[in-house]
Chains A and B, each alone.
Chain A
Amino acid sequence: MLSKLFGKTKSKTIEILAPLSGEVLALTAVPDEAFAGKHMGDGIAIEPSEGKIVAPFDGTVAHLIHTNHAIIVEHNSGLQLLIHIGINTVALNGNGFRAHVSSGDSFQAGDILIEFDRAVIEAAGCPSITPIVIANEDEVKQLEHIVSSGSVTAGAEAVLRAEMNE
Protein backbone atom coordinates (compact mmCIF):
# COMPACT_ATOMS: atom_id res chain seq x y z
CA MET A 1 0.00 0.00 0.00
CA LEU A 2 1.50 3.26 -1.12
CA SER A 3 -0.27 5.28 1.56
CA LYS A 4 1.49 3.20 4.19
CA LEU A 5 4.88 4.36 2.99
CA PHE A 6 4.14 7.87 4.16
CA GLY A 7 3.87 9.09 7.70
CA LYS A 8 5.15 5.88 9.26
CA THR A 9 8.89 5.74 9.36
CA LYS A 10 9.37 3.56 12.44
CA SER A 11 8.00 0.09 12.85
CA LYS A 12 5.70 -0.51 15.79
CA THR A 13 6.66 -3.08 18.38
CA ILE A 14 4.10 -4.48 20.82
CA GLU A 15 4.78 -6.47 23.96
CA ILE A 16 2.08 -9.05 24.62
CA LEU A 17 1.51 -9.86 28.29
CA ALA A 18 0.51 -13.36 29.41
CA PRO A 19 -3.29 -13.32 29.15
CA LEU A 20 -3.60 -16.09 31.71
CA SER A 21 -1.62 -17.73 34.50
CA GLY A 22 -0.13 -21.16 33.97
CA GLU A 23 2.58 -23.14 32.25
CA VAL A 24 3.92 -21.87 28.91
CA LEU A 25 4.19 -24.51 26.19
CA ALA A 26 4.97 -24.54 22.47
CA LEU A 27 2.01 -24.60 20.09
CA THR A 28 3.16 -28.06 19.05
CA ALA A 29 1.93 -29.27 22.48
CA VAL A 30 -1.66 -28.36 21.54
CA PRO A 31 -3.69 -31.50 20.68
CA ASP A 32 -5.27 -29.88 17.62
CA GLU A 33 -3.55 -29.94 14.26
CA ALA A 34 -4.84 -26.49 13.26
CA PHE A 35 -3.06 -24.85 16.20
CA ALA A 36 -0.11 -27.26 16.53
CA GLY A 37 0.75 -26.81 12.84
CA LYS A 38 0.55 -23.00 13.23
CA HIS A 39 -2.28 -22.91 10.67
CA MET A 40 -4.15 -20.59 13.04
CA GLY A 41 -1.07 -18.36 13.36
CA ASP A 42 2.19 -18.30 15.32
CA GLY A 43 2.14 -17.91 19.08
CA ILE A 44 2.30 -19.92 22.30
CA ALA A 45 0.05 -22.07 24.44
CA ILE A 46 -0.59 -21.85 28.19
CA GLU A 47 -1.86 -24.70 30.34
CA PRO A 48 -4.05 -22.69 32.72
CA SER A 49 -3.56 -22.72 36.47
CA GLU A 50 -6.56 -20.43 36.99
CA GLY A 51 -9.72 -19.69 35.04
CA LYS A 52 -9.19 -16.10 34.06
CA ILE A 53 -8.24 -14.36 30.79
CA VAL A 54 -6.89 -10.82 31.11
CA ALA A 55 -6.14 -8.25 28.43
CA PRO A 56 -2.56 -8.71 27.09
CA PHE A 57 -2.32 -5.00 26.09
CA ASP A 58 -4.48 -1.88 25.90
CA GLY A 59 -6.94 -2.33 23.05
CA THR A 60 -10.40 -3.33 21.90
CA VAL A 61 -12.40 -6.53 21.47
CA ALA A 62 -12.28 -7.18 17.71
CA HIS A 63 -14.66 -10.09 18.19
CA LEU A 64 -15.97 -12.17 21.06
CA ILE A 65 -17.18 -15.54 19.82
CA HIS A 66 -20.83 -15.93 20.90
CA THR A 67 -20.07 -19.04 22.96
CA ASN A 68 -17.45 -17.01 24.93
CA HIS A 69 -14.73 -19.66 24.56
CA ALA A 70 -12.54 -17.52 22.31
CA ILE A 71 -11.83 -13.85 21.78
CA ILE A 72 -9.91 -11.78 19.26
CA VAL A 73 -8.34 -8.68 20.79
CA GLU A 74 -6.86 -5.82 18.81
CA HIS A 75 -4.06 -3.42 19.71
CA ASN A 76 -4.23 0.12 18.29
CA SER A 77 -1.28 -0.78 16.02
CA GLY A 78 -3.63 -3.20 14.24
CA LEU A 79 -2.16 -6.33 15.84
CA GLN A 80 -4.88 -8.94 16.38
CA LEU A 81 -4.52 -11.80 18.82
CA LEU A 82 -6.75 -14.86 19.07
CA ILE A 83 -7.06 -16.40 22.55
CA HIS A 84 -8.82 -19.77 22.33
CA ILE A 85 -9.67 -21.28 25.73
CA GLY A 86 -9.24 -25.05 25.57
CA ILE A 87 -9.63 -27.36 22.60
CA ASN A 88 -12.97 -28.37 21.05
CA THR A 89 -14.60 -26.11 23.65
CA VAL A 90 -16.98 -24.73 21.01
CA ALA A 91 -18.96 -27.90 21.84
CA LEU A 92 -19.67 -26.58 25.36
CA ASN A 93 -21.86 -23.89 23.77
CA GLY A 94 -20.86 -21.29 26.35
CA ASN A 95 -21.25 -23.52 29.40
CA GLY A 96 -18.38 -22.80 31.82
CA PHE A 97 -17.46 -19.43 30.25
CA ARG A 98 -18.40 -15.96 31.44
CA ALA A 99 -17.40 -12.94 29.35
CA HIS A 100 -16.76 -9.57 31.01
CA VAL A 101 -16.60 -7.73 27.67
CA SER A 102 -18.49 -7.57 24.36
CA SER A 103 -17.32 -7.10 20.77
CA GLY A 104 -16.19 -3.49 20.27
CA ASP A 105 -15.42 -2.80 23.95
CA SER A 106 -12.17 -1.05 24.92
CA PHE A 107 -9.97 -2.38 27.71
CA GLN A 108 -6.71 -1.72 29.53
CA ALA A 109 -3.91 -4.28 29.89
CA GLY A 110 -4.74 -6.58 32.80
CA ASP A 111 -8.54 -6.10 32.67
CA ILE A 112 -10.49 -9.35 33.01
CA LEU A 113 -11.92 -10.40 29.63
CA ILE A 114 -13.33 -13.87 30.28
CA GLU A 115 -13.62 -16.15 33.32
CA PHE A 116 -13.87 -19.88 32.77
CA ASP A 117 -14.36 -23.03 34.82
CA ARG A 118 -11.65 -25.60 34.13
CA ALA A 119 -13.69 -28.32 35.88
CA VAL A 120 -16.55 -27.86 33.39
CA ILE A 121 -14.13 -27.95 30.44
CA GLU A 122 -12.34 -31.05 31.69
CA ALA A 123 -15.59 -32.82 32.66
CA ALA A 124 -16.63 -32.48 29.01
CA GLY A 125 -13.42 -34.24 28.00
CA CYS A 126 -11.83 -31.12 26.49
CA PRO A 127 -8.18 -30.18 27.11
CA SER A 128 -8.00 -26.74 28.75
CA ILE A 129 -4.65 -25.81 27.12
CA THR A 130 -5.14 -22.34 25.65
CA PRO A 131 -3.45 -21.29 22.39
CA ILE A 132 -2.63 -17.59 21.99
CA VAL A 133 -1.90 -16.81 18.34
CA ILE A 134 -1.52 -13.87 15.98
CA ALA A 135 -4.75 -13.63 13.96
CA ASN A 136 -3.35 -11.30 11.27
CA GLU A 137 0.14 -12.60 10.57
CA ASP A 138 0.23 -10.80 7.22
CA GLU A 139 0.64 -7.51 9.07
CA VAL A 140 3.32 -8.75 11.46
CA LYS A 141 6.92 -8.50 10.37
CA GLN A 142 8.40 -10.55 13.18
CA LEU A 143 7.19 -12.38 16.27
CA GLU A 144 9.60 -12.97 19.09
CA HIS A 145 8.92 -15.54 21.80
CA ILE A 146 10.06 -13.94 25.05
CA VAL A 147 8.97 -16.87 27.23
CA SER A 148 8.85 -20.39 25.83
CA SER A 149 8.56 -22.50 28.98
CA GLY A 150 7.91 -22.29 32.72
CA SER A 151 5.11 -20.62 34.61
CA VAL A 152 3.75 -17.13 34.02
CA THR A 153 1.30 -14.90 35.85
CA ALA A 154 -1.60 -13.26 33.99
CA GLY A 155 -0.86 -9.63 33.09
CA ALA A 156 2.46 -9.64 34.90
CA GLU A 157 5.00 -10.49 32.22
CA ALA A 158 5.43 -10.22 28.46
CA VAL A 159 5.42 -13.55 26.62
CA LEU A 160 5.55 -12.38 23.00
CA ARG A 161 6.90 -9.33 21.17
CA ALA A 162 5.41 -8.48 17.78
CA GLU A 163 6.97 -6.10 15.32
CA MET A 164 4.41 -4.76 12.85
CA ASN A 165 5.06 -4.13 9.16
CA GLU A 166 6.05 -0.58 8.38
Chain B
Amino acid sequence: MQNSYVIQNPFGIHARPARKIVEAAKASKESVTLVKDGKSFNAKSLVHVISVGAKFGDSITVNADGEQAEDVIAAIGAILTAVEQHAEKEQ
Protein backbone atom coordinates (compact mmCIF):
# COMPACT_ATOMS: atom_id res chain seq x y z
CA MET B 1 0.00 0.00 0.00
CA GLN B 2 1.00 3.62 -0.37
CA ASN B 3 0.14 7.18 0.58
CA SER B 4 1.43 10.58 -0.51
CA TYR B 5 2.41 13.53 1.66
CA VAL B 6 3.53 17.11 1.07
CA ILE B 7 6.59 18.30 3.00
CA GLN B 8 5.63 20.99 5.52
CA ASN B 9 9.03 21.63 7.09
CA PRO B 10 10.58 24.83 5.63
CA PHE B 11 13.99 23.09 5.76
CA GLY B 12 12.85 19.93 4.07
CA ILE B 13 14.02 16.45 5.03
CA HIS B 14 17.58 17.01 6.25
CA ALA B 15 19.66 14.83 8.56
CA ARG B 16 17.51 14.84 11.68
CA PRO B 17 14.08 14.13 10.17
CA ALA B 18 15.76 11.63 7.83
CA ARG B 19 16.97 9.61 10.82
CA LYS B 20 13.45 9.61 12.28
CA ILE B 21 12.13 8.24 8.98
CA VAL B 22 14.76 5.45 9.01
CA GLU B 23 13.76 4.49 12.56
CA ALA B 24 10.09 4.43 11.61
CA ALA B 25 10.82 2.35 8.49
CA LYS B 26 12.85 -0.18 10.47
CA ALA B 27 9.73 -1.00 12.50
CA SER B 28 8.71 -3.02 9.43
CA LYS B 29 10.47 -6.19 8.34
CA GLU B 30 9.28 -5.61 4.77
CA SER B 31 10.60 -3.14 2.23
CA VAL B 32 9.68 0.53 2.75
CA THR B 33 10.39 3.05 0.02
CA LEU B 34 10.01 6.77 -0.59
CA VAL B 35 9.21 7.88 -4.12
CA LYS B 36 9.85 11.38 -5.45
CA ASP B 37 9.47 12.34 -9.12
CA GLY B 38 9.41 8.66 -10.10
CA LYS B 39 12.64 7.83 -8.29
CA SER B 40 12.52 5.27 -5.51
CA PHE B 41 14.63 5.39 -2.32
CA ASN B 42 15.11 2.81 0.45
CA ALA B 43 13.54 4.34 3.58
CA LYS B 44 15.73 2.17 5.84
CA SER B 45 18.95 3.80 4.61
CA LEU B 46 19.88 7.19 6.09
CA VAL B 47 21.88 8.06 3.00
CA HIS B 48 18.99 7.16 0.68
CA VAL B 49 16.49 9.18 2.71
CA ILE B 50 18.78 12.23 2.80
CA SER B 51 19.45 11.72 -0.93
CA VAL B 52 15.75 12.20 -1.68
CA GLY B 53 16.57 15.88 -1.13
CA ALA B 54 12.95 16.55 -0.19
CA LYS B 55 12.22 20.26 0.15
CA PHE B 56 9.26 22.24 1.45
CA GLY B 57 6.24 21.68 -0.80
CA ASP B 58 7.57 18.49 -2.44
CA SER B 59 5.21 15.53 -2.70
CA ILE B 60 6.58 12.21 -1.42
CA THR B 61 4.89 8.84 -1.78
CA VAL B 62 5.54 6.25 0.91
CA ASN B 63 5.26 2.57 -0.11
CA ALA B 64 5.21 -0.30 2.37
CA ASP B 65 4.18 -3.96 2.42
CA GLY B 66 3.24 -6.40 5.13
CA GLU B 67 1.02 -6.37 8.19
CA GLN B 68 2.49 -3.19 9.67
CA ALA B 69 2.34 -1.28 6.39
CA GLU B 70 -0.46 1.05 7.46
CA ASP B 71 1.25 1.99 10.75
CA VAL B 72 4.65 2.47 9.13
CA ILE B 73 3.23 4.66 6.38
CA ALA B 74 1.31 6.78 8.91
CA ALA B 75 4.42 7.17 11.11
CA ILE B 76 6.57 8.28 8.18
CA GLY B 77 3.78 10.54 6.94
CA ALA B 78 3.72 12.28 10.32
CA ILE B 79 7.45 13.02 10.01
CA LEU B 80 7.11 14.22 6.41
CA THR B 81 4.37 16.66 7.40
CA ALA B 82 5.93 17.81 10.70
CA VAL B 83 7.32 21.32 11.16
CA GLU B 84 10.46 21.56 13.30
CA GLN B 85 10.45 23.92 16.25
CA HIS B 86 13.79 25.57 15.51
CA ALA B 87 12.45 26.37 12.05
CA GLU B 88 9.70 28.54 13.52
CA LYS B 89 11.93 30.89 15.46
CA GLU B 90 14.11 31.73 12.46
CA GLN B 91 13.34 34.79 10.32
A residues touching B (Cβ–Cβ < 8 Å)? 32, 34, 39-41, 62-63, 65-67, 70, 72, 74, 80, 82, 84, 88, 90-91, 93, 103, 135-136
The listed residue (B14, B46, B55) touching A135 by CB distance below 8 A is B46
B26-57 interface (Cβ within 8 A of A): 45-47, 50-51, 53, 55
- Which residues on A sit within 8 Å (CB–CB) of B50? 63, 65, 72
Known A39-B19, A136-B46; contact A63-B51, beta-carbon cutoff 8 A: yes
B6-39 interface (Cβ within 8 A of A): 11, 14-16, 19, 23
CA distance in complex: A136, B51 (Å): 14
Q: How many A-B residue pairs have CB under 8 A?
A: 50
B residues touching A (Cβ–Cβ < 8 Å)? 11, 14-16, 19, 23, 45-47, 50-51, 53, 55, 86-87, 90
B11 contacts A90, C-beta separation under 8 Å: yes
B87 contacts A91, C-beta separation under 8 Å: yes
CA distance in complex: A70, B16 (Å): 11
- Which residues on A sit within 8 Å (CB–CB) of B14? 65, 67, 70, 90
CA distance in complex: A135, B16 (Å): 12
- Which residues on B sit within 8 Å (CB–CB) of A41? 46
The listed residue (A63, A67, A88) touching B47 by CB distance below 8 A is A63
A84 contacts B15, C-beta separation under 8 Å: yes
Nearest chain A CB to B23 CB, angstrom units: 7
- Which residues on B sit within 8 Å (CB–CB) of A32? 16
